[in-house]
Amino acid sequence: MKQISDNFIKDAIQYLASAKNIVLLSHKNPDGDALGSGLALYQYFKEKKISVNFVLPNQLPDYLDWMPNVQNVITYNTQKELALKVISQTDLIIMVDFNHSSRLDKMAEIVLESKAPKIMIDHHPYPESISDILYSRVSASSTAEMVFEFITAINNGEKLSKEIAECLFLGIVTDTGSFSYNSSNPFTFEVVSELLKSGIDKDFVIDKVYNNHSHSRLRLLGYCLNDNMKVLPELSTAYIYLSQADLEKYNFEPGDTEGFVNYPLSIKGIVFSAIFIEKDGYTKCSFRSKGKFPANKVSGDHFNGGGHLNAAGGESKASLKDTIDKFERVLPEYSNFLNE
Ligand code: 5GP
Ligand code: MN
């Protein structure tokens, strides 16, 4: 059940044929899909002996530090000079798991100004036109699923190495919450079947994703569910929040709050959940929903963000308290989606 188009592959192969230095890019606060998709491509080009760099706007989460080649990822916030150098020298940019330049944060301008041809592979809705060629498929479980199709096509259908398969499996597992959402298309399982044939240790990857945290992260989760969760039954919504003081108290490390936003959705009758996290000068917002309730619309309308129908994120310049007040104020605008 092929999904990627022949034209995209044909064009991509042409760009790749003349590329000597490739730069891979993904989004700020990278998740498993961003890292898995980028690192799979990194490993592929390394195997083909093509010079490649993977540049991210900021730090990767600690719980993914075991992935192949993570030590080679360049982060713009800590290695600006090096990031600028590799972007200025590249003759092909491949962007994965985002479709809007704002997701590149402070790197956006230099990437948009680069004369290098750009390929984009992504599964978010409403792609911005910032690449020369685009493979966009909103129905895909993850970008990793699309990168599987891409690499398989440019590699003449040959089986992928175990390292590549492991990265792609990680992307699919994290973006589907271990196959609990975004995974009703049989094609996703065809891809997973191929990845398993490459010899990956499925249980190892799942164990690293879910059972690789500090004890203070678990205590932070317990604390915020107990003390900082508000349930609004009449709006079928529940949300949690964390201040900087809370994070410090529980020795917060990047990635620790990943997945917290899903917990309120486990309450009977709740179809919309949110988490608000106080950061330096802004409030990070994450939203999750069930069914037709549009998490991405709430985020896009009021919190400078976007994403998928059921998983979205954004940022607010306002304080934690003001952001939460605004959230409660605007929520009734979406009541009509509750009856659908
Ligand atoms: P998370 O809540 O895990 O940070 O993000 C969930 C999804 O929302 C991501 O896969 C991404 O699609 C989207 N998202 C998160 N943060 C932002 C943001 O700041 N802007 C936009 N446009 N989308 C975001
Ligand atoms: Mn993704």
pLDDT tens-digit series, residues 262-275: 999 999 999 999 99
Q: For residue range 15-61, list pLDDT tens digits in order.
A: 999 999 999 999 999 999 999 999 999 999 999 999 999 999 999 99
Relative to the CA of 258, which ligand 1 atom is closest? Answer: 3
Structure confidence by residue, pLDDT tens digits, 292-311 = 999 999 999 999 999 999 99
Task: Tell me whether residue 241 is in a domain.
Answer: yes
Mark whether 181 and 259 lie in a shared domain: no
**pLDDT value, residue 154:** 97
pLDDT over 90, % of the chain:
96
> Quick one: 253 and 224 in the same domain?
yes
Closest residue by CA, ligand 1 atom 16:
313
The SS3 call for residue 217 is: helix
Locate the ligand 1 atom nearest the alpha carbon of residue 124 and give its number. 12
Ligand at minimal distance from the CA of 128 is 1
What pLDDT band is residue 254 in, cutting at 50, 70 and 90? confident
Same domain, yes or no: 126 and 233: no
- 189-206 pLDDT, tens digit per residue, is 999 999 999 999 999 999
Is the same domain home to 157 and 85? yes
Q: Which tokens in the block code for residue 176? A: 């589907």
Three-state helix/strand/coil letters over 227-256: HCEEEEHHHCEEEEEECHHHHHHCCCCCCC
pTM, rounded to two decimals: 0.94
Name the residue of 145, 175, 286, 297 to mutate for ligand 1: max ligand atoms within 8 A of Cβ.
286
Q: How many domains does the chain have?
A: 2
Ligand 1 atom 12 nearest Cα: 307
For residue 62, the model assigns a pLDDT of 86
Structure tokens at 141: 């479980």
For residues 144 and 232, state if they share a domain.
Answer: no
> Whose alpha carbon is nearest atom 14 of ligand 1?
313
pLDDT at 219 over 70: yes
Specify the CATH number for the domain of residue 285. Answer: 3.10.310.30
SS3 category, 272: strand
Q: Which domain holds residue 138?
A: 6-210
pLDDT for residue 309 = 95
Indicate whether 1 pLDDT > 70. Answer: no
Q: What is the pLDDT of residues 124-174, one digit of tens each?
A: 999 999 999 999 999 999 999 999 999 999 999 899 999 999 999 999 999
Q: How far apart are CA 146 and CA 185, in angstroms?
A: 13
Please check whether residues 202 and 60 belong to one and the same domain.
Answer: yes
At which of 184, 210, 236 does a domain end?
210
Q: Are 48 and 187 in a shared domain?
A: yes
Helix axis angle, 162-175 to 32-47, nearest 10°:
170
Whether 220 and 205 map to the same domain: the answer is no
Predicted local distance difference test score (pLDDT) of residue 339? 74
Residue 89 shares a structural domain with residue 204:
yes
Q: Which of 210, 240, 263 finishes a domain?
A: 210
Q: How confident is the model at residue 109 (pLDDT cuts 50, 70, 90)?
A: very high
Q: Assess whether 114 and 128 both reside in one domain.
A: yes
Same domain, 162 and 73: yes
pLDDT score at 340? 66
Is residue 1 domain-resident?
no
CB within 6 Å of ligand 1 — which residues?
31, 100, 124, 286, 305-308, 311-315
